[in-house]
Amino acid sequence: MTAIRMADEHDEFEIFKLCAMMHEEQPYHPLSWDKVVPMIHLATRRERGVIGVIGDRHDLKAAIFLLIDPIWYSDDWQLLEFFNYVRPDARKTRYAFDLINFAKTCADDLGLDLTVGVFSNIRTEGKIRLYRRLVPLMGAFFCYSPPSRPSFEQRLLDVMEPANAVAAE
């Protein structure tokens, strides 16, 4: 198995580079560093998550971001995968496989359900086959993107608080 370690604050710059690469490949929505940075901090500072990384501190090849988050309809918590990313130059490896197994070990250690998935339309079938080999299938995701939004609606969406923030009040 590949050596995987838990990232800390000294890995953040490299993790941000991986996030930028990931977004270049799948730019479905604009990237907001104002949102990405604090989420990464939750894991690198071990406040509410874990990031498992592969590679040297200044040359990360792959990472998996797992957030400890409540299930929206329950008092139970889960380990929720935000991303499992392997750099393009490191994809002929077992890194993605090893990172999923790392996530399962984290779930075992924490005693939490692990929720992972493929939300992509790039090499989707191969990713699904990998996950299906390692984690039981439960449901599916579907995403419809309207061709355009009226400017008023976009302005409204820009000022609305996320549902989680509103519900927490």
Model pLDDT for residues 83-120, shown as the tens digit of each residue: 999 999 999 999 999 999 999 999 999 999 999 987 77
Q: Is residue 163 part of a domain?
A: no
The structural domain count of the chain equals 1
CB of 94 within 8 A of CB of 130?
no
- Report which of residues 128 and 100 the model is more confident about: 100
Work out the pLDDT band at 46, boundaries 50, 70, 90: very high
- State the pTM of this model: 0.83
Q: At 82, list the tokens.
A: 């935000």
Q: What is the pLDDT of residue 168?
A: 61
Q: Is residue 120 part of a domain?
A: yes
Q: Is residue 125 part of a domain?
A: yes
Q: Is residue 149 part of a domain?
A: no
Determine the Cα–Cα distance for residues 98 and 130; give it in Å rounded to an integer.
11
CB of 59 within 8 A of CB of 9?
no
CB of 66 within 8 A of CB of 74?
no
CATH of the domain at 47: 3.40.630.30
pLDDT mean over 135-141: 84
Q: At 46, list the tokens.
A: 């071990």
Q: Is residue 62 part of a domain?
A: yes
Which residues form the domain of 129? 5-144
Q: Is residue 152 part of a domain?
A: no
Work out the pLDDT band at 49, boundaries 50, 70, 90: very high
Q: Is residue 153 part of a domain?
A: no
Q: Which of 166, 162, 144 is nearest to 39 (CA)?
A: 162
Give Cα 46 to chain centroid, integer Å.
Answer: 16
Q: Is residue 35 part of a domain?
A: yes
Amino acid at 11: D
Q: At 155, list the tokens.
A: 């302005």
Cα distances (Å, whole numbers) of residue 153 to 29, 34, 132, 164, 166: 16, 22, 38, 20, 19
- Facing residues of 123 across strands? none
Neighbours of 90 (CB within 10 A): 14
Q: What is the pLDDT of residue 128?
A: 78
Determine the Cα–Cα distance for residues 154 and 169; give it in Å rounded to an integer.
24
Q: Assess whether pLDDT exceeds 80 at residue 151.
A: no
